[in-house]
A = this chain, B = another copy of it.
Amino acid sequence: MGVTKSEIFSESQNQIASVAKVLGHPARIAILQQIIKAKSCICGDLVTEIGLAQPTISQHLRELKNIGIIKGDIEGTRVCYCIDEEKWSEIRDLLATFFQQDICGKDCC
């Protein structure tokens, strides 16, 4: 069917999954790294740096914006994208907490 049955999972499970899903594409990882590396984070620069078409980059930027990990500031005809530090930390902690689960001795096989 292609449609995820979100309703049978907990809010927390859906939240972790939806964040991970957005991180689950190399272009979006590359965009985040480029935004962090460069002080400038103009959409056009990302297009040049990453090597995907402008509409494709724009689409990935929108998905990153949807989970709030980046924000965009309109500067004339350009848009400056940057990390939302608060959300970045929130997502980092969300994943860290997931992985902090005690798995010792669960290696039963």
Contacts and interface: CB of A to CB of B under 8 A. Distances in A.
Contacts of A83: 103, 106-107
Nearest to A31: B13
B91 A107 contact: no
Contact of A20 (B23, B27, B102): B23
A85 interface: yes
A36 B103 contact: yes
Interface of A: 4-6, 8-10, 13-14, 16-18, 20-30, 33, 35-36, 39, 41, 50-52, 71-73, 80-85, 88, 91-92, 95-96, 98-99, 101-104, 106-109
Given A9-B30, A13-B30, 14 more contacts: A4-B27, A5-B27, A8-B52, A16-B23, A17-B28, A20-B20, A20-B23, A20-B24, A71-B109, A73-B109, A81-B109, A82-B108, A83-B106, A95-B95
